[in-house]
């Protein structure tokens, strides 16, 4: 409690409990804040951004069930996740930190460029994929991949000779590409993604592909022309791929038995990922006679930028030739037969399988193999390609390998705000409608929302985790949040930490007397910690561990994210056990139980007719929201004295130093920021 004023008693609206042990005079701070320096700035550190993804093949046929993830390029934290619908669309209003001006988009789907950098432009993020990336929408970036385990392997100098099937350009694109790219339909890619989904280990999800006796090389049964078609690569390395031939009945027993390898794709990297290949690029291997077999080989990280050389190891379709000592880890490719399209699917794993960095998904290189005649290559002991729906136990349209709830048709995946690995922060001053000392540590609570989504991108359940970190207050304050949902939209809400008297609940766990669904997380933060003193704000005092409260909110029926509101919704502090004395973020409306008669009193400048709520007469807030965990000031230190660029940010109406709260050089006075 900061600067308790008897003026509150004069209104006769509530009984203010005076606790002189915690009263601090802050008139000097109040006088410093008496001028309107910030205009009508709302002190927001997040922006509402409209994200639209439209994904289809080159003929406009949509890709449904594509998992799309947005991540922060600086922190790598996940900002949003969702699936495209039957029309190949994913559209959502999302909240992003103001400091984020670009995002990585990752499509967890083979055949689609899986990672691009997109700008946040006029509060919009747009991604149109129609068989290829719209280059006008993406930003350039460089990404390197280094397998630390590869450093222990010497660069090999195998005895076989390398020859090139054709000349190639500076990016390793061969000159003998077929005149027309082969059309790879959305349906065909559905088959591939059902068979070799990204980041799903084949030994776990498709162990039959690796069963003993499964064919991995190509046996020619009659005279035929053979083609390789590039589909996708999911590797960080710039691999090279080629082939060798041998009599079917006399396969090479060692690498030394192979005299020559013909390089087909010197740089098996796609456009925008270190190369120039595009899905559908096709090359002819040649004409082969019956009784001949074709062995495929991948030279790991073989492209030097000008030639194929210096690779750490070669990986062969004939697993006996591969470098692992464990025979169960020697197989590096899977060969699948697509009966409908009369072609083979070839998937390669490019990292040694005894390496810690190997994800075992066998889709680091994906190619189709076709022949004329179409049945000229043996399909004996070749596994069939999977059809969509083969792995969808709950029939919700999401492949089990992507479905986080594969046996629940009402749940499909989890999404988080602010991310799966980080927390946001809410920091309050509790002396409203009077000004406080502006240290924003009367209550500091971190939050993370987990959304359990169904296959239609609707919320079935909302789980909220709150970490109470500080309470530099004498008042016994509570904390809750309001949503845009009606109370009837909630089936149950459990997990609140409440005493018997202050808060009245409906049978479903929402607060009674509210037209909207309001959730009270805790009605007495000091009681959570079991102390009566200031909590984690004073230098030299014992630091207490955070206290967590987890709410599980099950909805009566699934709703869209926007129907709930924008996370963190409408959080508020309940001052000194007076339920109606609420402190909200600036611009946020009170709940139905708030003491609105306090508006316009003391320092409060609320004017509902003008849409102004919970700002002082000098446009200052009593609460701030940060999109990451807040390093708050020590007790009785103005936030501007601890975070040196707060003032510059606010006076610029949020256009300068949008990341003022981060621990960069020159951003803060570290002696005035509380550390446990």
**Domain annotation covers residue 480:** yes
Which of 141-145, 369-373, 395-399, 659-663 shows the lowest per-residue confidence on average (mean pLDDT)? 141-145
**Backbone dihedral angles phi then psi of residue 564, each to the nearest 5 degrees:** -75, -35
Which of 158-162, 545-549, 614-618 shows the lowest per-residue confidence on average (mean pLDDT)? 158-162
What is the pLDDT at residue 616?
Answer: 93
**Domain annotation covers residue 676:** no
CA atoms within 13 A on the CB side of 429: 31
Give the integer Cα–Cα distance in Å for 195 and 183.
19
Which of 153-162, 252-261, 462-471, 627-636 shows the lowest per-residue confidence on average (mean pLDDT)? 153-162
* Residues 425 and 377 both lie in one domain: no
What is the pLDDT at residue 435?
Answer: 87
Considering just the CA atoms, what is the radius of gyration of the chain in Å?
31
Higher pLDDT, 257 or 400: 257
**Domain annotation covers residue 661:** no
Give CA angle at 124 (118, 125), nearest 5°. 30
Cα–Cα nearest to 228, from 369, 371, 343: 369
Give the integer Cα–Cα distance in Å for 402 and 425.
31
Q: What percent of the chain has pLDDT over 90?
A: 75
* Residues 548 and 579 both lie in one domain: yes
**Backbone dihedral angles phi then psi of residue 428, each to the nearest 5 degrees:** -125, 150
* Residues 204 and 58 both lie in one domain: no
**Domain annotation covers residue 396:** no
Secondary structure (3-state) at 659:
coil
User: In whole angstroms, how far apart are CA 325 and each of 142, 322, 328, 330, 362?
Assistant: 35, 9, 9, 8, 19
**Domain annotation covers residue 389:** no
Give the integer Cα–Cα distance in Å for 604 and 377.
81
- 281, 228 contact by CB (below 8 A): no
Give the integer Cα–Cα distance in Å for 494 and 519.
10
What is the pLDDT at residue 676?
Answer: 84
What is the pLDDT at residue 436?
Answer: 82
Dig out the tokens for 220 from the structure: 């020619």
Secondary structure (3-state) at 203:
helix
Give the integer Cα–Cα distance in Å for 273 and 156.
25
- Per-residue pLDDT of 541-598, as tens digits, reads 999 999 999 999 999 999 999 999 999 999 999 999 999 999 999 999 999 999 999 9
Q: What percent of the chain has pLDDT over 70?
A: 92
What residue has token string 């002190």? Answer: 43
Mean pLDDT of 221-228: 97
Kindly report the CATH number assigned to the domain that includes residue 115: 2.60.40.10
Residue 5 has pLDDT above 70, yes or no: no
Mean pLDDT of 350-363: 91
Mean pLDDT of 593-605: 96
What is the pLDDT at residue 548?
Answer: 98
- Domain termination site, one of 137, 167, 190: 137
Residue 36 has pLDDT above 70, yes or no: no
* Residues 253 and 316 both lie in one domain: yes
- 585, 621 contact by CB (below 8 A): yes
Give CA angle at 198 (196, 204), nearest 5°. 60
For the chain, how many structural domains are there in total? 3
* Residues 344 and 441 both lie in one domain: no
Dig out the tokens for 258 from the structure: 């192979």
- 539, 473 contact by CB (below 8 A): no
* Residues 171 and 118 both lie in one domain: no
* Residues 246 and 333 both lie in one domain: yes
Mean residue pLDDT across the chain: 89
Task: Say if strands 124-130 and 46-56 run parallel, antiparallel, or are unpaired.
Answer: parallel
- Per-residue pLDDT of 284-332, as tens digits, reads 999 999 999 999 999 999 999 999 998 999 999 999 999 999 999 999 9
**Backbone dihedral angles phi then psi of residue 159, each to the nearest 5 degrees:** -75, -20
- 643, 440 contact by CB (below 8 A): no
* Residues 513 and 366 both lie in one domain: no
Dig out the tokens for 193 from the structure: 């993604």
Q: How confident is the model at residue 150 (pLDDT cuts 50, 70, 90)?
A: very low
Q: Is 342 left (phi over 0), alpha (psi -120 to 50) or beta?
A: left
Higher pLDDT, 109 or 511: 511
User: In whole angstroms, how far apart are CA 449 and each of 266, 406, 465, 514?
Assistant: 46, 22, 6, 22
Cα–Cα nearest to 16, from 595, 583, 471, 578: 578
What is the pLDDT at residue 467?
Answer: 98
* Residues 61 and 192 both lie in one domain: no
What residue has token string 């400091």? Answer: 99
What is the pLDDT at residue 215?
Answer: 94
- 496, 520 contact by CB (below 8 A): yes
Give CA angle at 420 (114, 125), nearest 5°. 45
* Residues 328 and 301 both lie in one domain: yes
- Decide: residue 208, CB within 10 A, 0-12 exposed, 13-18 middle, 19+ buried: exposed
* Residues 414 and 512 both lie in one domain: yes
- Report the predicted TM-score, pTM, of the whole model to 2 decimal places: 0.81
What is the pLDDT at residue 33?
Answer: 47
CA atoms within 13 A on the CB side of 294: 28
**Domain annotation covers residue 418:** yes
Q: How confident is the model at residue 156 (pLDDT cuts 50, 70, 90)?
A: low
What is the pLDDT at residue 49?
Answer: 96
Give the integer Cα–Cα distance in Å for 222 and 233.
31
What is the pLDDT at residue 186?
Answer: 84
Q: How confident is the model at residue 523 (pLDDT cuts 50, 70, 90)?
A: very high
Which of 247-251, 401-405, 592-596 shows the lowest per-residue confidence on average (mean pLDDT)? 401-405
Residues 6+ apart with CB under 8 A from 394: 403, 405, 406, 407, 408, 409
* Residues 438 and 499 both lie in one domain: yes
Give the integer Cα–Cα distance in Å for 56 and 132.
9
CA atoms within 13 A on the CB side of 360: 17
- Per-residue pLDDT of 88-118, as tens digits, reads 999 999 999 999 999 999 987 888 877 899 9
What is the pLDDT at residue 334?
Answer: 95
Residue 231 has pLDDT above 90, yes or no: yes
Higher pLDDT, 246 or 1: 246
User: In whole angstroms, how far apart are CA 24 and each of 19, 29, 32, 453?
Assistant: 10, 11, 16, 47
Mean pLDDT of 643-647: 96
What is the pLDDT at residue 392?
Answer: 79
Give CA angle at 603 (598, 606), nearest 5°. 55
133: DSSP letter: B
Residue 151 has pLDDT above 90, yes or no: no
Higher pLDDT, 87 or 403: 87
Determine the structural domain holding residue 165 and report its residue range.
157-384
**Domain annotation covers residue 334:** yes
Mean pLDDT of 512-520: 98
**Domain annotation covers residue 647:** no
What is the pLDDT at residue 38?
Answer: 77
What is the pLDDT at residue 143?
Answer: 61
Residue 22 has pLDDT above 80, yes or no: no
């Amino acid at each position: 409690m900061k600067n308790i004023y008897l003026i509150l008693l004069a209104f006769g609206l509530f009984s203010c409990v005076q606790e002189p042990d915690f009263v601090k005079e802050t008139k000097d701070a109040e006088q410093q804040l008496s001028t309107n320096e910030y205009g009508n700035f709302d002190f927001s550190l997040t922006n509402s951004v409209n994200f639209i993804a439209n994904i289809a093949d080159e003929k406009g046929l949509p890709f449904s069930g594509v998992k799309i993830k947005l991540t922060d390029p600086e922190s790598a934290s996940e900002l949003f996740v969702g699936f495209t619908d039957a029309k190949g669309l994913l559209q959502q209003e999302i909240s992003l930190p103001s400091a984020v001006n670009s995002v990585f988009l990752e499509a967890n789907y083979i055949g689609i460029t899986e990672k691009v950098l997109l700008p946040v432009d006029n509060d919009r993020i747009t991604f149109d994929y129609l068989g290829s990336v719209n280059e006008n929408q993406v930003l350039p970036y460089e990404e390197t991949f280094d397998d630390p385990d590869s450093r222990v392997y010497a660069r090999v100098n195998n005895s076989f000779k390398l020859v090139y099937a054709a000349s190639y350009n500076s990016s390793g694109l061969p000159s003998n590409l077929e005149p027309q790219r082969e059309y790879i339909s959305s349906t065909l890619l559905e088959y591939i993604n059902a068979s070799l989904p990204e980041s799903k280990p084949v030994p776990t999800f498709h162990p039959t592909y690796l069963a003993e006796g499964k064919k991995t090389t190509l046996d020619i049964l009659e005279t035929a022309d053979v083609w390789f078609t590039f589909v996708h690569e999911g590797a960080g390395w710039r691999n090279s791929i080629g082939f060798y031939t041998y009599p079917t009945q006399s396969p090479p027993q060692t690498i030394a038995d192979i005299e020559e390898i013909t390089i087909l794709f010197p740089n098996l990297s796609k456009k925008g990922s270190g190369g120039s290949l595009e899905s559908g690029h096709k090359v002819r291997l040649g004409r082969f006679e019956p009784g001949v077999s074709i062995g495929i080989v991948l030279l790991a990280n073989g492209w030097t930028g000008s030639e194929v050389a210096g690779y750490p190891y070669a990986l062969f379709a004939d697993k006996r030739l591969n470098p692992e000592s464990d025979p169960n880890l020697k197989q590096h490719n899977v060969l699948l037969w697509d009966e409908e399209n009369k072609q083979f699917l070839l998937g390669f794993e490019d990292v040694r399988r005894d390496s810690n960095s190997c994800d075992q998904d066998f889709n680091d290189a994906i190619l189709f193999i076709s022949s004329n005649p179409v049945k000229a290559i043996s399909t004996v002991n070749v596994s069939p390609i999977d059809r969509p729906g083969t792995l969808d136990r709950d029939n919700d349209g999401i492949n089990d390998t992507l479905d986080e709830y594969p046996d629940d048709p009402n749940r499909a995946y989890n999404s988080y705000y602010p991310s799966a690995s980080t927390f946001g922060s809410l920091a309050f001053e509790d002396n409203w409608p009077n000004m406080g000392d502006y240290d924003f540590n009367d209550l500091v609570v971190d939050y993370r929302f987990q959304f359990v989504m169904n296959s239609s991108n609707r919320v079935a359940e909302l789980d909220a985790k709150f970490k109470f970190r500080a309470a530099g207050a004498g008042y016994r304050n509570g904390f809750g949040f309001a949503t845009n949902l009606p109370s009837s939209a909630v089936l149950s809400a459990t997990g609140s930490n409440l005493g018997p008297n202050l808060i009245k609940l409906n049978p479903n766990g929402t607060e009674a007397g509210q037209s909207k669904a309001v959730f009270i997380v805790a009605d007495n933060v000091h009681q959570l910690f079991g102390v009566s003193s200031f909590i984690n704000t004073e230098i030299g005092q014992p630091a207490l561990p955070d206290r967590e409260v987890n709410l599980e909110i099950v909805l009566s029926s699934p709703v869209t994210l926007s129907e709930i509101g924008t996370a963190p919704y409408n959080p508020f502090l309940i001052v000194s056990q007076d339920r109606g004395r609420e402190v909200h973020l600036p611009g946020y409306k009170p709940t139905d139980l708030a003491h609105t008669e306090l508006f316009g009193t003391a320092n409060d400048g609320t004017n509902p007719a003008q849409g102004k709520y919970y700002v002082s007469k000098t446009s200052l807030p009593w609460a701030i929201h940060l999109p990451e965990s807040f390093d708050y000031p020590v007790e009785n230190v103005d936030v501007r004295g601890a975070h040196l660029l707060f003032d510059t940010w606010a006076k610029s109406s949020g256009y300068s130093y949008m990341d003022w709260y981060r621990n960069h050089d020159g951003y803060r006075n570290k002696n005035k920021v509380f550390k446990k």
